[in-house]
Amino acid sequence: MPLPYSELVMEHFRHPHNVGRIEDADARAIEGSPACGDMVAVYLKVDPETQRITDIKFESYGCASNIATGSIITELAKGKTLEEARQITWKQASDALGGLPPIKAHCSVLAVDGLRAAIENYEERHGLVKEREPTTVEFVRRRLKHVMNPVTGLDVVRTKLVQEIEVADGVVRVVIDLPADHQFANNIRDEIVEKLGHRWDVKQVNVVFTE
Amino acid sequence: MLEKFVYLDNAAATRLDERVLEAMTPYFFDLYAVATSQFGYSLGVDARDALDDARARVAAALGAKPEEFIFTSGDTESSNLALKGVALALGEKKGRHIIISPIEDFPVLHSARALEKQGFRVTYARVDETGRVDLDHLRDAIAPETILISIQVANQEIGTLQDVQAIGEIAREKGVLFHTDATHSFTRVPLNVQEVPVDLVTVSAHTIHGPKGIGGLYVREGTPIRKWMDGGFQEFDLRPGVENIPGAVGFAKAVELVTPEETARLQGLRDRLIERLLQVPHSRLNGHPVYRLPQNANISFRFVEGESLLLHLDMRGFAVSTGSACFSRSLEASHVILGIGGDHERAHGSVRFTFGRFNQESDVDAAAQAVAEVVEELRQISPLGKE
């Protein structure tokens, strides 16, 4: 079949591992992308002594790459400590799947974000977090590393699409070096708003495109 | 490839009918000369005769005169010629305003956007939740500088039919040209230019079991239009380039092979599928229940994503299409579903089924069952719709 997906991706899509819900989970998180519409829910059971993930499950409302990444990321995280699991990157997930098409990066990065969000959820519930982190230029840059450039499958920071970041009085302004009528302009804008718009100290997110 | 593949994406492309190929074959091997003027060599004159004959036959299906029909490479080129050609002819003379619907297919939508960049104003006529254009809003949108209304006969995704008679009458009354994209309705839904006041009509062979790469534009006699592609003087000096004579001959044959009986049969398949699929929980029909293309069904299933659904159906041997953002080349959800007031979720789980000559009743039953099963499987792993 002339699909852009590898055999491994299709295998995980057809028969995803660790699918379902843990009813008495120690932590859970749902990450969603209004831009593409995909959603991933991640559920964790954690050994409080060792901080190891003893069980993990996911649910997906998404495309094949989203489902396959949910499957592989839960496999990778199982048995790891929270600290180790937090280090798992989209690149590792993609490699473990034999590569994902660049245009699908943003659907699959959701599963990675879902895992991290579930770990944060655990830390919050168990009093392991420090102060709420304020939204700074550095923070914005870090978040933007999770916004994928569908042309290359790499994030918008690494591909130098982010020209400028400003944070002032709760207003975040991001200048993206693409024309406003670029094929993926709307998609990238929605993703950026979604990554930052819900922050406790952010009132507004403006994404500006260069001409 | 599976032994038996059920193809339900006939809006995208259709399988060529053998009889069409048979009609075309001589024009590849024997009568391959370029269509010359009547003073040319005989091989070229024969080619010219074949082209004229094909033109007359396709034009007749629209009730048009042969000299009112221009062959193009397909509906994309036809609609580009209609919008940009009229803009070239009237932009300076009359005005720079055009009206389209927000759910037009890309050739019209993106031609309008290209004109917008050149300083034209584009109004998007309001559509209701079934996709039908609000005729009062359309009438009110017409200004003295309006040069063209372009509204399709039938929608490419949700199959909604527009009242082109009424739209044409409004355009005529206000002295505005009217173009309609009939790519998906041509020969399936009657359109006679003697009765409908329309000035330009886009058609294509690829949707009716004809070859890809040939289409046409009806241009009512006297319509102000200029060519926008430069070259020779072919096609009444509106479309330069060596004529695609095998394509034109194939197009004419394809037109003649479509019968009202066949269209009624496809409508039966459509209705059977819609009835079966609406029994799936949390499903809804997109588009109009009555004013609907006979060969189109479009259903949204909540809590599942279209690309996953499509791939699972592909593994079971069914070809369909979806309006999900994940499936689109721009990662944007269907502008048609959003345009009729649907949300991203509805576009996400929308599936289009389009029938053609080679589909059977057994295909409908098999597809309905496969879709119901796959939807159920995907809902099992979805975080939504469980509480």
Between CA B276 and CA B269 the distance in angstroms is 11
**Cβ contacts of B305 on chain A, cutoff 8 Å:** 37-38, 61-63, 66
Could you tell me the pTM of the whole model?
Answer: 0.89
Q: Are residues B194 and B298 in the same domain?
A: no
Strands B146-150 and B177-181, sheet pairing: parallel
Q: What percent of chain B has pLDDT over 90?
A: 89
pLDDT score of A31? 85
Collect all residues with Cβ–Cβ distance below 8 Å to B149 and sequence separation of at least 6: B98, B99, B100, B125, B138, B142, B167, B170, B171, B176, B177, B178, B179
Q: What is the 3-state secondary structure (H, E, C) of chain B?
A: CCCCCEECECCCCCCCCHHHHHHHCHHHHCCCCCCCCCCCCHHHHHHHHHHHHHHHHHHHCCCCCHHHEEEECCHHHHHHHHHHHHHHHHCCCCCCEEEECCCCCHHHHHHHHHHHHCCCEEEECCECCCCCECHHHHHHHCCCCEEEEECCCECCCCCEECCHHHHHHHHHHHCCEEEEECCCCCCCCCCCCCCCCCCEEEEECCCCCCCCCCEEEEECCCCCCCCCCCCCCHHHHCCCCCCCHHHHHHHHHHHHHCCHHHHHHHHHHHHHHHHHHCCCCCEEECCCCCCECCCEEEEEECCCCHHHHHHHHHHCCEECEECCHHHCCCCCCCHHHHHCCCCHHHHHCEEEEECCCCCCHHHHHHHHHHHHHHHHHHHHCCCCCCC
Span of A110-119, A143-152, B280-289 with lowest mean pLDDT: A143-152
As for how many domains chain B has, the answer is: 2
pLDDT score of A35? 55
Does residue B9 form part of some domain?
no
pLDDT score of B384? 85
Collect all residues with Cβ–Cβ distance below 8 Å to B352 and sequence separation of at least 6: B9, B11, B157, B158, B296, B297, B298, B320, B321, B322, B323
Q: In what order do the strands lie in the sheet with A162-168?
A: A162-168, A171-176, A204-209
Averaged pLDDT score across all residues of chain A: 88
Does residue B62 form part of some domain?
yes
**Cβ contacts of B327 on chain A, cutoff 8 Å:** 63
Q: Are residues B253 and B264 in the same domain?
A: no
Nearest CA in chain B to A35: B332
Does residue B284 form part of some domain?
yes
Q: What are the structural domains, with CATH classification, of chain A?
A: 7-125 (3.90.1010.10), 137-209 (3.30.300.130)
pLDDT score of A130? 66
Beta bridge partners of A52: A47, A81
Residue A63 to residue B327, Cβ atoms within 8 A: yes
Given A35, A44, A97, A107, which residue is catalytic?
A107
Q: For an interface test with A, give the residue of B308, B312, B343, B377 to mutate (most A CBs within 10 A).
A: B308
SS3 category, A102:
helix
**Cβ contacts of A40 on chain B, cutoff 8 Å:** 383
Residues in chain B whose Cβ is within 8 Å of chain A: 113, 303-305, 307-308, 311, 314-315, 324-327, 329-333, 344-345, 347-348, 380-384, 386
pLDDT score of B142? 98
Between CA A40 and CA B318 the distance in angstroms is 27
**Cβ contacts of A194 on chain B, cutoff 8 Å:** none
Residue A37 to residue B331, Cβ atoms within 8 A: no
pLDDT score of A36? 63
Residues in chain A whose Cβ is within 8 Å of chain B: 1, 3, 10, 13-14, 16, 19-21, 30, 34-41, 59-64, 66-67, 103-104, 106-107, 150, 181, 183-184, 186-187
Residue B303 to residue A150, Cβ atoms within 8 A: no
Residue B331 to residue A187, Cβ atoms within 8 A: yes
Whether B330 is a known active-site residue: answer: no
Does residue B10 form part of some domain?
no
Structure tokens at A125: 């519930």
Query: In which residue are the tokens 């009889």 written?
Result: B19
Q: Are residues B302 and B326 in the same domain?
A: yes
pLDDT, one tens digit per residue, over A93-102 is 999 999 888 8
pLDDT tier, A190 (very low <50, low <70, confident <90, very high otherwise): confident
Residue B325 to residue A36, Cβ atoms within 8 A: yes
Residue A20 to residue B381, Cβ atoms within 8 A: yes
Query: In which residue are the tokens 């939504």 written?
Result: B384
Given B2, B278, B326, B384, which residue is catalytic?
B326
Q: Are residues B239 and B275 in the same domain?
A: no
Q: Are residues B194 and B308 in the same domain?
A: no
Mean pLDDT value across residues A117-139 = 84
| Chain pair A-B, CB pairs under 8 angstroms | 78
Does residue B385 form part of some domain?
no
Residue A59 to residue B327, Cβ atoms within 8 A: no
Residue B383 to residue A41, Cβ atoms within 8 A: yes
In one-letter notation, the amino acid at residue B8 is L
Last residue of a domain, one of B229, B257, B285: B257
Distance (Å) from the alpha carbon of B17 to chain A's nearest alpha carbon: 25
Structure tokens at A110: 């959701």
Q: For an interface test with B, give the residue of A36, A189, A191 to mutate (most B CBs within 10 A).
A: A36
Last residue of a domain, one of B257, B289, B304: B257
Q: Are residues B25 and B153 in the same domain?
A: yes
Does residue B1 form part of some domain?
no
What CATH number did the domain enclosing B177 receive?
Answer: 3.40.640.10
Domain span including residue B309: 259-380
Q: Are residues B146 and B167 in the same domain?
A: yes
Out of A16, A38, A184, closest to residue B330 by CB = A184
pLDDT score of A2? 47
Residue B307 to residue A64, Cβ atoms within 8 A: yes
**Cβ contacts of B326 on chain A, cutoff 8 Å:** 36-38, 62-63, 66, 104, 107
Mean pLDDT value across residues A138-162 = 84
For residue A198, pLDDT over 70 is answered with: yes
Nearest CA in chain B to A65: B308
pLDDT score of A33? 64
**Cβ contacts of A150 on chain B, cutoff 8 Å:** 331
pLDDT tier, A186 (very low <50, low <70, confident <90, very high otherwise): confident
What CATH number did the domain enclosing B306 receive?
Answer: 3.90.1150.10
Between CA B255 and CA B106 the distance in angstroms is 24
Nearest CA in chain A to B383: A59
Whether A63 is a known active-site residue: answer: no
Residue A37 to residue B305, Cβ atoms within 8 A: yes
In one-letter notation, the amino acid at residue B99 is I
Residue A38 to residue B326, Cβ atoms within 8 A: yes
Three-point CA angle B67, B69, B70, nearest 5°: 110
Residues of chain B with pLDDT under 70: 1-3, 387
Q: Are residues B263 and B253 in the same domain?
A: no
Between CA B99 and CA B107 the distance in angstroms is 14
Residue A38 to residue B305, Cβ atoms within 8 A: yes
The radius of gyration computed from the CA coordinates of chain B, to the nearest angstrom, equals: 22
Does residue B212 form part of some domain?
yes
